[in-house]
Each structure stands twice: as structure tokens, then as C-alpha cells.
Amino acid sequence: MSMDSVMKDLKAINAKYQMFHAMSDDVSAGDAAFLFSAKDNLTSNDMETCAGSRILEGYRPIFDATCIAKLREAGGKLVGKTNMDEFGFGTFSTNSGFEVPKNPYDLNRACGGSSGGSACAASVIEDHVSLGVSTGGSICCPASFCGVYGIAPTYGRVSRFGLIDYGNSLDKIGVISQKATDLKKYMEIIAGRDERDPTSMVQPEFVTAYRKMKSVAIPKEGIEGLSKEVEAIFKDAVEQLKSMGVDVDYVDMPSLKYAMPAYYVLATSEASTNLARYVGMRYGHQEGDHSLKFDDYFTEVRSKYFGDEAKRRILLGTYARMAGFGGRHYAKAREVRQVVINDYKRVLETHDAVLAPTMPFTAPRFDDISKMSALDSYKADYLTVPANIAGTPHLSVPCGYDSDGMPVGMQFVADHWNEDILFSVAEDWEKQFDLRRPEVSI
Amino acid sequence: MKIGLECHVQLPTKSKMFCSCPTADCEFPNTYVCPTCLGMPGSRPVLNRQVLVYGIMIAKMLNCEVNDTTWFARKTYFYPDMSKSVQITQYDNPIGERGVYYLDGKKPIRITRIHVEEDPGSTKRTADLTSLVDYNRSGIPLAEIVTEPDIATPAEARQFLTQMIGDLRHLLDIPDDLEWEVKCDCNISVGTERVEIKNVSGLKNAERALHSEMVRQIAMIKAKKKIVRETRRYDPDRDVTISMRVKEFEDQYGYIDEPDLGVYHIKELADSIRISESPQNMILRITSQYKLDPKMAKQLVNTSMDLAVLFEDIAKEFGTQNAIKWVGGPISANWRAMEDRGVTDLARLKELIGDFSEGGITDTQCAIEIKSYMTGQDAAAAQEDSAGLETLINEFLDKNPKIVTDYQKNDKAANQVIGYVMKQTGGKYSSAEVVETAKKLIEARF
């Protein structure tokens, strides 16, 4: 399929799956070397950027995020900005101020989140690569639910300049694609130091030469609470890995169960300060009663345009930061982060990666999601959160399909800066895995 | 009574603290701005390292312990001129802590901490009751210096500020003709409860605000009313403080560390920074080293550090007496005139004093030549002027002999001569020159 015909079909595809919030106006690929899309929390100077929030409705940034600029320089054409949970706050992309993307394998199910639109685009569109962002699992979760490959690199590997912040100490930009080989190809373009993001300046060289993965450790804590089908499919995948010459050990990583509460303290504390700037003054919605006192006006705009989950996380984060609690919650959460890092380092001294299913179940139906409490959906992230809080690189590969034909994924976690071994295992896996493309009829 | 100050001064960097926008004044609002200082989504801060250098220099001047590592924090509050609704400041591990600064070389004022932070924008209120925000100032680097409550009176607070600002100006090389505003949060407790007067501009207003608040608190205590812990502001036109809100505690800002900026290891940088002698320390040192009248030491240093350095040069080459006589006398009196003419070469002055000390020229000749060189007048005119001034003063002293006796009790009595001479000559002579000559002539009459 040529890029021009992909471009021609894009509107119809989007009408069916709702992966894009904003789309490129032209329908020709021009002289583009490749087509890509980007999560809507990455700024683009030619398209509206809202991070899934109505409070930024109509906002067009004056600068490109570094990762988008680099892909354009490499000849890429940005075709659309993908739908997501508001500011990244969610697991199913249903907490969006705009359209909710639909699962390529079953339109009544979610794509996962928060980079749901990106995974959907990568799954549905021919030869497509999409930029995602992970704070607590937002790349691997939707990659798993949409049956594609996704990598969240080491924290600091890709410049966050141009990323609309959720939790600055956790946010990582990565790549989602149908093809494992694409992950390395496009990560090589977007990785690297950028003076405009000081946290990207300490990274070592990005090496991507093949390095065979020889051993993995499966934490007991990572195979608890799985659905029966995920458990069985993962078990088969592990046998397959063994046959590929990978040693498999079962280990204890007791710190993993503390990662979740610590994550929510850190992520919401930082989010509540990041979201303070949205007051209806400088960008996004600015209508409202200008005769009000400034704080009443701010309250009016924020009450009207933030979604429920954004409000919940602002409240949680503000509470965690407040008088008397700062020391108890925020400082404690940072200690837990260090404990989780130490636990990974200990296991990764003797193993190349830590392995577990990416999500404990396959993509849920929208009607089931609407019955879930906020806490239920927070808990669904227990397998992806630990690597995210540790800032270690992690990659999800599709590893099987359940009885409804929904994809299951598994996630490898390597030590900081060791993306190379993740690319290698994903490419080895791809050679022998029978990927079932979703049926895309428009 | 206890008074503690939190003083904010602008650091003289060329670009802002976290972006490359200029810090210069701009005629048009919202011109020196970019995505970072406007807090646009996706922008992030990159630290201007010079801010750390200036912060360390100030910490050293205030005899603080410089922390080996320092980092930044987010202070979250909502106000239209704060573009991110978050101010990047320092909370834990500021640049310097636990310092001490001596008032007049004697009274220690303990320094709690010195940290650096970004300035918000500014709000302009218009006549039709709307407000406009200008972000040109947003992100300009400031140093905040916090003292312990060691200051005893409003006057002492002003004295402290005057001395410290003088030292800071010299340290940071702020040009004399540049307006350099200091803003203070003034904390004062007459009884047991502390009241903070926010954002007072200038030294004089700091003293007046503290005085006004002191009077209010005394009246409250006398009336047996309870003083509440709160934040007030000062209205200089009415000379009163006005309640703003019940005091916010620092915890309520919900500080967290700034995750976009790392930890800065500044030990090596701090070790490499040497600061020059502060004006205040120079006053103290030359007073004792040359057994000077402290007033003269202060006058030399406050006129110009260069003048004080010349004093030391002359003292070393030709003896302290010559330095006091010439540098403390006519050179000091004509210094401003020389500066105004842009003359910086001091070799001729040294040569003249050398000639005098070897007996090559007389006292009067030397004085005339110095004045002529410094003011650019030709020697004959300078002599005539000088003679004219002496005649004028002598006539005045003849008519008012009480000045001579008063002067022996208080040398300020010489100031009476100034008014007279100014009136007679319409400002032909500088006040420094008149005082100088008057003192010489009065002392001759003892």
C-alpha cells in the first residue's frame, strides 16, 4: 500500500477507530520518507495540541517537541495527534475530553491508555509508527491491548522538550509500531541529548548493536492476580522463550507491591503543580466572566474544563504536598522509588531482564470500564508501574491471543540505558511470532 | 522588639534565570518573553549557571556556609503574574545557610539563608478597574537573603539594609548610576506574635513601614488587644500598614523539588570563587590600619572604592599624613568633578603629592594644582576661585564666631557655611569643596 493511499483512507479510518484528535489537512504524502503520528501531549506547531484536555481546546503551540522535530527532519510526515486520557491520567483512554479510541480487534473494547490513540494508529494503519508517552505504563499497556510492540526507554533517553508534563520525574517518550524492528529504527532518531531538557543531558551513548538476551527473571509478584487466559498464554510464551535459548528463573521482588502507592503520590504531586498553570489566561479556553476576581475566574475555568480524573489527581496531589504531609507522603514515596530501583538492580545483576505479562487481563469492554471505580483502574497498572517508577527501560511484545481473539502482551524490563538488549529480544521474538493483524475494513 | 528581614535583590545577569530572554528594561510589555518564561505547555527551564555564581558570591559575602549540593523547588500558588502558577525557588539545601553579617563591624546580624529564585511578571492596574500583566520580568533572577530576628529597631533595619546593599552593589559590580531596587518582607514582633509586612520597596520605606507597624503593635498592647499573626502591606502615602490575610505558613505552598532540574554539585565552583573586600570591610580595615577617623574612612569608601585605594597608595608611598591631608582633603572634595569629566588617570595626583613631600612645591601650590587637574580649570583661575572661596568663608565666620565654638562640640556646625556660600555664589563651588575649606578655616581659628 502506498503512502498516498494510506493518506487518502485516513479520514475514513479515523471515523471508525477515533485514534486522532487532530489530523493533517492534506491528503497526499508528498515526498515524505515515512508517516508518523504523535500522542496529543507532544507539541506540534502545525496542529492543535490539547493533551486530551478541554482546557487546552484550540491551543496551537508555537514550537515542535524535540522528538517530533527530529522525526520531521528525518523525512517523516506527521499525520495526526492521537487521542489519550486527559494529560495521561488513565489506563483505557476513556478519561478524554474528546474522542475515545476504539480497539482494533473489537470496537466495543478500549485501546488501553493513556497512549491509546497511538497504539490504535500503530495497529490499524499500514507501515505506521506512533510516538507515545509513558508515566506509569502508558506505552506498554495500550501496545499490549492493541497487539503491537512498544518501548518506553530509560528516563532521560529522549528529550522531554515539548512534552506537556504529567509527572516530570516519570515521563518518558517512546515508540509504538507493528514491527519490532521499527522500535530501534525510530528510537535511534529521537534519542539523544538536548540542551532544552537538562534531564536528557546525562545519558550515555545510545548503543543499538545486537546483543542476545540470555536470561530473564520472572518475579513471583508479577504473575499474581492474572486472568486465567493471560496466565496460560504467558506460560506458553515463556516456554517459547526457553526454546529460543533464554534461561528463565523465578525470583522474589517484594518491593514491587509498594511501587503502586509510591507512584500515585509522586505522579499526582507533580501533576498537581503542572496543572496549576491552566487558568484560562494565556492559552486554551479564555472565555468566562472577566469581571470576577482572578481566583474566582481561575476556579470557574478550571471547574468547567478539567475532567473528573484530572480534578481527582489535582486533589490527591495537592493533599499529598500539603502541610504536615509533605514529609510523610512525598519524601517517603521517593524512598520507595529508590528501594524499587535497588530491587531491579539486584535482580538485573544476574539476569538480562525482568519479565511479566504487561497487563493482568486483555482489553476490557467499555461497558465494563464504566463500572470500574477509580481505584480498580489504578490497580490495573500494577505490572507496568514498577519499571516506570524506577525509570528503567521496558518493552512490550505481543505474545498471544485469548479466546475472543484479543491480544496479550508481555513486558521485558532491562537495566537503565540497556535498551539494546530489549530491541534484540523483540526482534528475535518477532521472527518466530505469528502476529495476527486486526481486520481493517473501511 | 525583634525584627527580621527577607530581602530580594535582582542579580545582574544578561539573560533570564531559566531561558535566554534578555533581562534589560523594555519599553513595550510582553516583549522579552518566550515559551519558558510564559510557562507555555511543553516548555521547560534550563538554568543560567551565572545565577549560581552570583548566589555563591553573596553567600560568601554574608559569611554563610555554602552547601556542597544545591537544588530547586516548586512553590505553587495562583496569581496572574506567575505564568506557571509555580515559582521555581529553593527550599531544602539553598546555596548558603547560617551566615553572619556585622553591622558597622560590631553588631552581628545572623543570616538564616540565601537562596536564588525567579521573579514573577508584573501587574499593572488600569483606571477602568481591569489589570494587565506584563511578563517581561518573568524569570529574572533574584537572590533572597533572610536574616534571623536580630535587628533591634526600624532605624537599625535601615542601617543594615544600607550597609548590605552598598556591599552587594560593589560585590556584583552594579554601576553607581543604575537604580537597583531592594524589596523586603519585614517581620516585626513588639510582643510575642510576629507580623509580616510584605513587599516593601526601598530602604526608606522599610524603615517607615517597620516604624508604623511598631507604633500600631505598641498601641494594641497598651490597649490589651491581641496581635494576630498575619501578613500586612504598607501604604507609603498614608504611612500605615493594612491587613492582607492571616499569615500563610510555608507548608501551604506544598513545596516539592523541581523535577526538571537536577542536583547541582557546587563545592568546586564555590572553592574557585574569591570575592573582593566589601566596602564595609574596607572601612573597618583602613580605620584601624591607618588609625583614621571612622568618618573619614567611610567618606572615602562611600565616595568611591578607587578613592580609598588611592588613599592607601599615597599612604604607602608618602606616609599616612600626606594621604589624610591630600586624599582626605582636596582630592576627595573634587573627586566627583573629576569623575564627571571622565578623568581616570591618577598618576598626576601622585606626582604632585610626591613633589610636595620632597619640598618641590608649597602647600598652596599643591592644592591649586590638584584642583586644576581634577576640575580642568586653569591654575590661575583655580587659585582665584580658591582665594575667593576662602575670603567668602572668612567673612562669614567673622560675622558668626559661634560656628567656631559650636564646631568644637559638633563638626556638623560647619554645614551652616554651605548654605551661605551656595546662596552667595549660586552653586559655583561643590558642597564637598566648601565643607573642606570651611573646616580648614574654622580649625585655623581654634
**pLDDT (mean) for A126-134:** 97
Best mutation target among B15, B40, B125, B138 (most A Cβ atoms within 10 Å) is B40
Question: How far away is chain A from the Cα of B96, in angstroms, using its nearest Cα?
Answer: 22
Q: What is the pLDDT of residue A326?
A: 62
Q: What is the pLDDT of residue B441?
A: 86
Question: How far away is chain A from the Cα of B204, in angstroms, using its nearest Cα?
Answer: 32
Closest partner CB to A273 (pick from B38, B42, B76) = B76
Q: What is the pLDDT of residue A323?
A: 63
* Band of pLDDT at residue B249, cut at 50, 70 and 90: low
Q: Are residues B226 and B365 in the same domain?
A: no
**Digit-coded pLDDT (tens) for A26-53:** 889 999 999 999 999 999 999 999 999 9
* Band of pLDDT at residue B430, cut at 50, 70 and 90: confident
* Positive or negative torsion for Cα A6, A12, A15, A17: negative
**Residue that finishes a domain, picked among B219, B251, B272:** B272
> Residue A114 catalytic?
yes
Domain boundaries, chain A: 3-256+335-432
**Residue that finishes a domain, picked among B214, B237, B272:** B272
Q: What is the pLDDT of residue A327?
A: 67
Q: What is the pLDDT of residue A349?
A: 97
Do A61 and B74 count as a contact with CB atoms less than 8 A apart?
no
ipTM: 0.94
Do B86 and A160 count as a contact with CB atoms less than 8 A apart?
no
Total of domains in chain B:
2
**Residue that finishes a domain, picked among B244, B272, B300:** B272
Question: How far away is chain A from the Cα of B119, in angstroms, using its nearest Cα?
Answer: 16
Closest residue in chain A to residue B264, using alpha carbons only: A198
Q: Are residues B148 and B224 in the same domain?
A: yes
Q: Are residues B285 and B236 in the same domain?
A: no
Do B78 and A295 count as a contact with CB atoms less than 8 A apart?
yes
**Digit-coded pLDDT (tens) for B119-174:** 999 998 888 878 899 999 999 999 999 999 999 999 999 999 999 999 999 999 99
Q: What is the pLDDT of residue B47?
A: 98
Q: What are the backbone angles phi and psi of residue B211, rounded to the nearest 5°?
A: -65, -45
> Residue A123 catalytic?
no
Cis ω for the linkage preceding A114 (within 30 of 0): yes
Count of alpha carbons within 13 angstroms of residue B309, beta-carbon side: 8
Do A168 and B262 count as a contact with CB atoms less than 8 A apart?
no
pLDDT at B235 over 70: yes
* Band of pLDDT at residue B33, cut at 50, 70 and 90: very high
Q: Are residues B239 and B307 in the same domain?
A: no
Residues of A whose CB is below 8 A from B130: 290
Q: Are residues B257 and B393 in the same domain?
A: no
Residues of B whose CB is below 8 A from A155: none
Q: Are residues B263 and B289 in the same domain?
A: no
Q: Are residues B61 and B162 in the same domain?
A: yes
Closest partner CB to B39 (pick from A56, A277, A321) = A277
Query: What percent of chain B has pLDDT above 90?
Result: 67
Closest residue in chain B to residue A280, using alpha carbons only: B80
pLDDT at A273 over 70: yes
pTM of the model: 0.88
pLDDT at A325 over 70: no
Best mutation target among B15, B18, B44, B132 (most A Cβ atoms within 10 Å) is B44
Burial of B250 (0-12, 13-18, 19+ CB in 10 A): exposed
Identify the weakest region by mean pLDDT among A392-401, B243-252, B258-267, B347-356.
B243-252
Q: What is the pLDDT of residue B363?
A: 85
| Catalytic choice (A24, A37, A114, A255) | A114
> Residue A144 catalytic?
no
Q: Are residues B174 and B291 in the same domain?
A: no
Q: What is the pLDDT of residue B248?
A: 57
Question: How far away is chain A from the Cα of B58, in angstroms, using its nearest Cα?
Answer: 26
Q: Are residues B246 and B301 in the same domain?
A: no
**pLDDT (mean) for A292-316:** 95
**Digit-coded pLDDT (tens) for A138-188:** 999 999 999 999 999 999 999 999 999 999 999 999 999 999 999 999 999
Q: What is the pLDDT of residue A216?
A: 98
Transcribe A173-226 into DSSP letters.
EEEEES-HHHHHHHHHHHBS--TTSGGGTTPPP---S-----EEEEEGGGSSS-
* Fold topology of A3-256+335-432: Amidase signature (AS) enzymes (3.90.1300)
Q: Are residues B314 and B378 in the same domain?
A: yes
pLDDT at A214 over 80: yes
Closest partner CB to B80 (pick from A202, A281, A324) = A281
Do B254 and A163 count as a contact with CB atoms less than 8 A apart?
no
- Residue B352, domain extent: 279-444
* Band of pLDDT at residue B425, cut at 50, 70 and 90: confident
Pull the grid cell for residue B80. Answer: 496572574
Cβ neighbours for B82, distance < 8 A, ≥ 6 positions apart: B120, B121
Q: Are residues B285 and B265 in the same domain?
A: no
Q: Are residues B10 and B106 in the same domain?
A: yes
